[in-house]
Amino acid sequence: MQNHKKQKEPNLKKLLSGRSVILISNRGPVEFKRDEFGNLITKRGGGGLVTAMTAISEETRATWISAAMTDVEQAMARDDVVVGFPEDNPLYHIKLVDIPKSVYKPYYNVISNPLLWFIHHYIWNLSRAPDITAETHRAWREGYVVANKLLADAAAEESLLHINPIIMIQDYHLFLAAKYIRQQTDRAFLFHFTHIPWPEPDYMSILPYEMRTELLAGMLANDLLGFQTRHYANNFLLCCESLLGCVVNWKRKSALWQGREVYVRSYPISIDRAGLQKISVSSDVLKHETKLKKDYKDQALIVRTDRCDPSKNIIRGFLAFDILLQKHPELKEKVKFLALLYPTRENIKLYKDYRLEVESTVQKINDRHKTDSWTPIYLRIKDNYPESVAALKCYDVLLVNPIFDGMNLVSKEGPFINKRNGVLILSENAGAFSELGNSCLSINPFDVDETAEAIYKAINMPAYEKQARSASLKEIVEKNSSVKWLYYQLKDIVTIEKKKSAVKAVKEVAETVER
Amino acid sequence: MQNHKKQKEPNLKKLLSGRSVILISNRGPVEFKRDEFGNLITKRGGGGLVTAMTAISEETRATWISAAMTDVEQAMARDDVVVGFPEDNPLYHIKLVDIPKSVYKPYYNVISNPLLWFIHHYIWNLSRAPDITAETHRAWREGYVVANKLLADAAAEESLLHINPIIMIQDYHLFLAAKYIRQQTDRAFLFHFTHIPWPEPDYMSILPYEMRTELLAGMLANDLLGFQTRHYANNFLLCCESLLGCVVNWKRKSALWQGREVYVRSYPISIDRAGLQKISVSSDVLKHETKLKKDYKDQALIVRTDRCDPSKNIIRGFLAFDILLQKHPELKEKVKFLALLYPTRENIKLYKDYRLEVESTVQKINDRHKTDSWTPIYLRIKDNYPESVAALKCYDVLLVNPIFDGMNLVSKEGPFINKRNGVLILSENAGAFSELGNSCLSINPFDVDETAEAIYKAINMPAYEKQARSASLKEIVEKNSSVKWLYYQLKDIVTIEKKKSAVKAVKEVAETVER
């Protein structure tokens, strides 16, 4: 096994030379609660974004601005409490913004999800949904716009305390934030990173004219825009050209907007290797690992672990498994499909319906193929991170078949901690495909027949091929890191700033000469 | 009223100077049946394509090749019967190709519809459908590919009888035909026209790699490709670049493929004005017109007429009407919504389900708003062309709100024959929008609230504005014609051929000099 610890991380501090970074995201890195005695207790959150951004903050001593989620957090926000975290040795400061429920709900549960999420992942059933109604328009104006403005205001205010800070805005909840920051200050460098896919213009035009125009213009208020892949970056530029009538310089990968050149780049996000490595040997994970090994010792383990989201294509994964068992009944009792899912956005009807469909599909397939001593699919829809990590260590086949996916961190985490030379089956529409495409078994996510064949091929792959593919995947994943992901962004930021000040200087000289 | 008869048609014969044209389409221009005595009887078919192409054939004395549809036609095909039509004064010849049912069904009912149709119109519910299965792959290989080859073979054979013929291939049923023709002859100019939208690469990539690659390469076997709008032409070029890795020259609007330069152009299709004018004063239409005028003499008439297809967005039209009646109960008994629909593709489950949803939506809305003497919506799902034409003459508001649509001829036919200065409400995603966008009330088809407002605005529009908009629409529609549509295609064909032979001559001279 390769020693990933030897990979040297780039020096962010040197690059930044004391400059401050202000992060804005919908959800912050830490959850605040009060224990039974009223004391503030904190819990570090999960998720790809939090993991990556935590690594960043630790390097740069940033300020992290996000929406207050709980009553405790809202009270903190109202009292202007700024918290250093971790408390004993603060690496970064957390500032919470109180967004009234009447704003937060439409911002989060109408516009961000499902409207934008479903557009960005191409999963609307267009002949039936969405219906854009007066409520949608109101949710935009009184929810999304207002929440963006509240978070932007906090960032603009914070920026006054720093010299030329870099403001890093995160994801689809905050497409408008840069506009409101720019209205208040021009002393900050504005960078936005989109973690999810960016759709092509026809699909983006599901949004009414005013919304899509405001959204794209909001994005172009940044100085630099980051996407997961070159393809998504190009899709964004296509939208600017086609929906906003903006001049795009395809060679420089930039859009001209209101006299500024806005650069568009791709930075494929990575995983927090050290953190994951640590968790993977925790007692909780080891306990689950032992159990999994015992329970399925004679069975090939097919694993998937995802939020229970329609974009993840969970049902087609089961249909493929169904086809596999129909075609190869000899596999009965010799394979097991572990679907370890996380409940998500359950107050949105489309998600509730999807979960029910997932459950009934599993029921049907289990009924069709089960024997006295064996059920083909084990479905869990419940938070249990240690069990998921244990499964990633043990899989023979990891199924990652999203319809579209910004990156998909599971497809990097799995190969990184897997101990069985397990095979990765990966959708060509996952952002990670552009890095891992040559070492995985690639599938078209809509092709359940191809997916079934890929599982069969994975189960029966010769050991030397599994070993080679697995080593190649590990190598690719180990080449990158959350810190490097940030480093490339900051390096571009510094370069662009230099270029801009050079242009500005030349202009000033020219103007002086003219006078 | 403007006198459209004065518009002069271009001279196709002069342009072609005796060259033959061979058309290929799935469905031919004429239906053949036998009467009770066994005599062959013919019925000229309907539909935008047949109308436009009939005009062409009449000008050029073409051969029209298409699939035999009925038992009678299959027998004709097997006996190699070539029919001149009309019989008394043959303008063109019809050649039918016998495609076995086992080929035709998967070609038409699996691949062409719904698979391709739903991709080209962005109407798959991607988290649930389509499931690409072994059956889909078989339908492609044993249906779509074979049917394309059979029709291509007939065209290649026919081309041997002519000097440098022009082969004009029609629509999404025949994306592969050019490839098979080119394999057999290089003496024909190959032109393909796509009547439906062309989707952007991400959506096109729903098709498995082999299918989409074969499809795009099949299209690039043509010398010239025609689309309804510049936008769709660009989408095609984007697909070539992104999915086929083809070099695209964006300035020349061409793709380089296998040593050839394939040109991509847009030719917005028009209506058969003279034919429609004639039908609109037929006794059948006049009868319906009288009845409509009597039945709804005190009501503002909102009309839609479409095939009952999910791409037409019929349900959201009703939802908008529902919102209108809720917001403006004073309109009860003062408006009527006539939805005159045609049954279509009813052997496909998605269409059956859609029809049921259309019917139940109407039921619900009618129940909600009806009074003792009035029902808000009259829904007809039945072939009745004269009634539809009569309704187009009488509408106060014409609702054309497709999700995506290649052109949409109703949006041109309506304004052309309407006698009330009726208002056109048009989706920004209809191909016709690029021509009619400034004179209609434009809507985002997903925005039911905006659609409701547009209907309200249309009903209450001042007479002078209605008159001005209506005159402008008529003027635009009258500027174009089916013959002109064809003329622009043929003109480009002649120009491209000249350019190609000039390049060839220069090359030959260069080679001679070198030697």
**Across residues A95-102, what is the average pLDDT?**
96
Cα distance between residue A337 and residue A369, in whole Å: 12
Strands B260-266 and B254-257: antiparallel
- pLDDT at position A52: 61
Rg (chain A; Cα; Å): 24
Cα distance between residue B121 and residue B39, in whole Å: 41
B308 found inside a domain: yes
- Confidence band for B128, pLDDT divided at 50, 70 and 90: very high
Contact predicate A346/A352, CB 8 Å: yes
Q: Which two tokens stand for residue A160?
A: 């006054």
Write out the H or E segment, with its range, that includes residue B127: none
AA letter at A447: D
Classify the C-alpha dihedral A416-A420-A421-A427 as positive or negative: negative
* Shared domain check, B311 and B232: no
Contact predicate B94/B82, CB 8 Å: yes
Q: Which domain holds residue A310?
A: 273-479
Residue with structure tokens 């060259």?
B19
* Shared domain check, B359 and B307: yes
Classify the C-alpha dihedral B158-B164-B167-B168 as positive or negative: negative
* Shared domain check, B262 and B182: yes
Give the chain B residue whose CA is nearest to the CA of A134: B449
- Confidence band for B87, pLDDT divided at 50, 70 and 90: confident
Phi, psi angle pair for A330, to nearest 5°: -65, -15
- Share of residues in chain B with pLDDT > 90 (%): 79
Query: pLDDT digits over B483-504, tens only?
Result: 889 899 999 999 999 888 887 7
- Confidence band for A504, pLDDT divided at 50, 70 and 90: confident
B121 found inside a domain: yes
Whether pLDDT at A51 is above 70: no
Contact B444 A316 (CB under 8 A): no
Cα distance between residue A455 and residue B73, in whole Å: 47
A426 found inside a domain: yes
**Across residues B468-493, what is the average pLDDT?**
94
Q: Could you give the dihedral angle defined by the CA atoms of residues A242, A243, A245 and A248, in that order, rounded to the nearest 10 degrees?
A: -50
> Which string of b and e fits B17-26 if b means at least 16 CB within 10 Å?
eebbbbbbbb
Partners of A200 on chain B (C-beta within 8 Å) are 200-203
Query: pLDDT digits over A409-444, tens only?
Result: 999 999 999 999 999 999 999 999 999 999 999 999
Task: Inform me whether the C-beta atom of residue A465 falls under 8 Å from chain B C-beta atoms.
Answer: no
Task: Inform me whether the C-beta atom of residue A261 falls under 8 Å from chain B C-beta atoms.
Answer: no
B329 found inside a domain: yes
* Shared domain check, B379 and B239: no
Whether pLDDT at B477 is above 90: yes
B127 found inside a domain: yes
Q: Which two tokens stand for residue A286?
A: 């080891």
Q: Give the list of residues 6+ apart from residue A137 with CB closer than 8 angstroms, or none.
A: A208, B449
Q: Which two tokens stand for residue A415?
A: 């190969």
Contact predicate B24/B95, CB 8 Å: no
Contact predicate A130/A114, CB 8 Å: yes
* Shared domain check, A77 and A212: yes
- pLDDT at position B86: 73
Task: Inform me whether the C-beta atom of residue A453 falls under 8 Å from chain B C-beta atoms.
Answer: no
- Confidence band for B404, pLDDT divided at 50, 70 and 90: very high
Q: Which two tokens stand for residue B491?
A: 């003109």
Task: Classify residue B165 by its DSSP letter.
Answer: P
When CB atoms are compared, the residue of B201, B206, B313 closest to A127 is B313
Q: How far is B242 from chain A (nearest CA, A)?
A: 9
Closest CA to B441 of B463, B407, B473, B479: B473
Write out the H or E segment, with its range, that includes residue A212: helix A209-219
Contact B403 A126 (CB under 8 A): yes
* Shared domain check, A279 and A179: no
* Shared domain check, B233 and B190: yes
Partners of B200 on chain A (C-beta within 8 Å) are 200-203
- Confidence band for A4, pLDDT divided at 50, 70 and 90: very low
Whether pLDDT at A87 is above 80: no
End-to-end CA distance of chain B: 68
Cα distance between residue B449 and residue A461, in whole Å: 55
> Which string of b and e fits B392-416 if b means at least 16 CB within 10 Å?
bbbbbbbbbbbbbbbbbbbbbbbbb
In chain A, how many domains are there? 2
Query: pLDDT digits over A371-383, tens only?
Result: 999 999 999 999 9
* Shared domain check, B202 and B146: yes
Task: Inform me whether the C-beta atom of residue B463 falls under 8 Å from chain A C-beta atoms.
Answer: no
- Share of residues in chain A with pLDDT > 70 (%): 95
Cα distance between residue B195 and residue B359, in whole Å: 28
- Share of residues in chain B with pLDDT > 70 (%): 95
B61 found inside a domain: yes
A·B CB contacts under 8 A: 118
Whether pLDDT at A514 is above 90: no
What's the mean pLDDT when you consider all of chain A?
93
- pLDDT at position A48: 55
∠A226-A229-A231 over CA atoms, to 5°? Answer: 110
**Across residues B420-445, what is the average pLDDT?**
98
- Confidence band for B6, pLDDT divided at 50, 70 and 90: low
Measured CA distances, B134 to A439, A506, B61, B120 (Å): 25, 64, 43, 22
Task: Inform me whether the C-beta atom of residue A470 falls under 8 Å from chain B C-beta atoms.
Answer: no
Partners of B357 on chain A (C-beta within 8 Å) are 128
> Which string of b and e fits A201-229 if b means at least 16 CB within 10 Å?
bbbbbbbbeebbebbbbbbbbbbbbbbbb
Measured CA distances, B501 to B6, B21, B515 (Å): 38, 20, 21
Neighbours of B507 (CB within 10 A): 10
Measured CA distances, A513 to A213, A499, A501, A503 (Å): 40, 21, 18, 15
Q: B507 or B127: which carries more pLDDT confidence?
A: B127
Q: How far is B157 from chain A (nearest CA, A)?
A: 37
Task: Classify residue A6 by its DSSP letter.
Answer: G
Closest CA to A151 of A176, A116, A115: A176
B11 found inside a domain: no
Length of chain B: 515
Contact B122 A126 (CB under 8 A): yes
Query: pLDDT digits over A131-179, tens only?
Result: 999 999 999 999 999 999 999 999 999 999 998 899 999 999 999 999 9
Partners of B209 on chain A (C-beta within 8 Å) are 428, 444
Contact predicate A123/A75, CB 8 Å: no
Cα distance between residue B143 and residue B101, in whole Å: 9
Q: How far is B219 from chain A (nearest CA, A)?
A: 22
Rg (chain B; Cα; Å): 24
**Across residues B418-443, what is the average pLDDT?**
98
* Shared domain check, B296 and B208: no
- pLDDT at position A55: 64
Task: Inform me whether the C-beta atom of residue A433 falls under 8 Å from chain B C-beta atoms.
Answer: no
* Shared domain check, A206 and A89: yes
B407 found inside a domain: yes
Looking at the DSSP assignment, which residues form a beta bridge with residue B306? B341
> Which string of b and e fits A428-437 if b means at least 16 CB within 10 Å?
bbbbbbbbbe
HSE-CB of B303 using CA atoms within 13 angstroms: 27
Identify the weakest region by mean pLDDT among A14-18, A229-233, A235-239, A422-426. A14-18
- Predicted ipTM of the assembly: 0.94
Partners of B311 on chain A (C-beta within 8 Å) are 127
- Confidence band for A3, pLDDT divided at 50, 70 and 90: very low
Q: Give the list of residues 6+ apart from residue A92 with CB closer than 8 angstroms, or none.
A: A29, A57, A58, A60, A61, A62, A63, A64, A84, A85
Q: B200 or B163: which carries more pLDDT confidence?
A: B200
- pLDDT at position A7: 60
**Across residues A272-291, what is the average pLDDT?**
95
* Shared domain check, B495 and B427: no
Whether pLDDT at A475 is above 60: yes
Mutation pick from B124, B125, B126, B251 vs chain A, by most beta carbons of A within 10 Å, is B126
Cα distance between residue A9 and residue A486, in whole Å: 11
Give the chain B residue whose CA is nearest to the CA of A230: B242
- CATH code of B429's domain: 3.40.50.2000
Whether pLDDT at B3 is above 60: no
- What 3-state class would DSSP assign to B447? strand
When CB atoms are compared, the residue of B133, B311, B447 closest to A449 is B133
- Share of residues in chain A with pLDDT > 90 (%): 79
- pLDDT at position B4: 46
* Shared domain check, B492 and B470: no
Query: pLDDT digits over B236-246, tens only?
Result: 999 999 999 99
- What 3-state class would DSSP assign to B131? coil
AA letter at A217: A
Does the pTM of the predicted model rise above 0.90? yes
- pLDDT at position B58: 67
Whether pLDDT at A315 is above 80: yes
Measured CA distances, A222 to A162, A169, B92, B377 (Å): 18, 9, 61, 49
Query: pLDDT digits over A114-131, tens only?
Result: 999 999 999 999 999 999
**Across residues A75-88, what is the average pLDDT?**
84
Q: Give the list of residues 6+ apart from residue B97 with CB closer than 8 angstroms, or none.
A: B65, B66, B67, B68, B77, B150, B151, B154
- pLDDT at position B42: 83
- Confidence band for B1, pLDDT divided at 50, 70 and 90: very low
Classify the C-alpha dihedral B230-B236-B242-B246 as positive or negative: negative
Closest CA to A415 of A439, A434, A431: A439
Whether pLDDT at B2 is above 80: no
Phi, psi angle pair for A262, to nearest 5°: -105, 120
Mutation pick from B229, B324, B446 vs chain A, by most beta carbons of A within 10 Å, is B446
Cα distance between residue A211 and residue A201, in whole Å: 14
